[in-house]
């Protein structure tokens, strides 16, 4: 594993190992199997047939998506929460993943333009400070024809009980889960990011006890 240290022209991470960052690392590590189970149909669709190459994951957490990273790939992990790093590195070593850890936020990716074949993320655009800025960076670093594959929870239908629930608990939820926004319209942000093509599917997470995040989308955007 290599770690690329922050350089002066990149802002330091806004989220580094606060108490809540450590809680999030524990939470996503502990519930990893369950979260992967409820998101499996979406991940299988969005992360299908990723070709080996240079793969960037935005906010990989503790390594929930290693199963979808093909062997013989260079895996670049952009993870600003340092509390995730040890678990992420350990799992990468267990799976033989060639990991390069980039401790930066998605709004400021320390990679050259058109230098990555595929970008993936799951349950991250809900949490980043500025999703439009992250998508600008995703599009910049992707090579022409490269794909951005995502699985995200989103705002439920405005007239639904779930939307009422999302709005009611959004503040404490955001406080606990490092700024996670339950009522984001992430699909619209991806559609507005200027990709050559965008496919988005809505999906209710199966058998999920995390009711506020059951409204989800997954998709593939091609540069």
Q: Which of 38, 56, 77, 81 touches ligand SAM (CB under 6 A)? A: 81
Q: Given candidates 55, 59, 68, 213, which one binds ligand SAM under the rule CB under 6 A?
A: 59
Could you tell me the two tokens for 35? Answer: 């979260």
Q: Which span (4-12, 100-108, 137-145, 158-166) binds ligand SAM, by CB under 6 A?
A: 100-108
User: And the tokens for 171?
Assistant: 């503040």
Choice between 106 and 187, CB closer to ligand SAM:
106
Backbone angles phi, psi at 90, to 5 degrees: -65, -45
Which of 50, 56, 111, 124 is the binder for ligand SAM (CB under 6 A)? 124
Closest separation in Å from C-beta 223 to ligand SAM: 19
Helix crossing, 19-30 with 161-176: angle to 10°?
120
The radius of gyration of the chain's CA atoms, rounded to the nearest angstrom, is 16
User: How near is the Cβ of 21 to ligand SAM at its closest, in Å?
Assistant: 7
> If binding is defined by CB under 6 A, does position 61 make contact with ligand SAM?
yes
What are residue 77's DSSP bridge partners?
A: 57, 101
Q: Give the interface segment with ligand SAM, choosing from 77-85, 91-99, 160-168, 205-213 (CB under 6 A).
A: 77-85
**Does 127 participate in binding ligand SAM (rule CB under 6 A)?**
yes
Q: Which secondary structure element, helix H or strand E, spans residue 203, and what is its range?
A: strand 197-204
In the DSSP assignment, the letter for residue 96 is T
For residues 138 and 194, is the Cβ–Cβ distance under 8 A? no
Q: Residue 115 is encoded by which pair of tokens?
A: 């230098």
Residue 157: partners with Cβ closer than 8 Å, 6 or more residues away = 163, 215
- Of the ranges 45-53, 66-74, 95-103, 105-113, which one interacts with ligand SAM (CB under 6 A)? 105-113
Shortest distance, CB of residue 187 to ligand SAM, whole angstroms? 18
Contact residues for ligand SAM (CB under 6 A)? 15, 28, 35, 58-61, 64, 78-81, 84, 105-107, 122-124, 127-129, 178
């Amino acid at each position: 594993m290599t770690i690329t240290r922050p350089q002066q022209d990149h802002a330091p991470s806004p989220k580094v190992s606060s108490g809540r960052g450590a809680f999030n690392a524990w939470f996503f590590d502990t519930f990893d199997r369950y979260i992967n189970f409820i998101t499996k149909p979406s991940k299988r669709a969005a992360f299908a047939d990723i070709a080996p190459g240079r793969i960037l994951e935005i906010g990989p957490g503790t390594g929930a998506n290693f199963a979808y990273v093909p062997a013989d790939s260079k895996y670049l992990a952009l993870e600003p929460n340092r509390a995730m790093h040890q678990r992420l590195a350990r799992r990468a070593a267990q799976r033989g993943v060639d990991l390069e850890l980039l401790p930066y936020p998605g709004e400021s990716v320390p990679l050259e333009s058109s230098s990555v074949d595929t970008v993936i993320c799951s349950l991250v655009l809900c949490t980043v400070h500025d999703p439009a800025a992250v998508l600008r960076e995703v599009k910049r670093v992707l090579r022409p024809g490269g794909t951005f594959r995502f699985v995200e929870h989103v705002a439920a239908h405005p007239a639904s009980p779930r939307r009422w629930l999302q709005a009611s608990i959004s503040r404490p939820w955001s406080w606990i889960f490092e700024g996670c926004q339950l009522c984001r319209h992430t699909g619209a942000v991806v559609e507005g990011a200027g990709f050559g093509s965008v496919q988005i599917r809505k999906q209710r997470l199966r058998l999920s006890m995390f009711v506020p995040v059951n409204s989800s989308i997954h998709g593939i955007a091609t540069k």
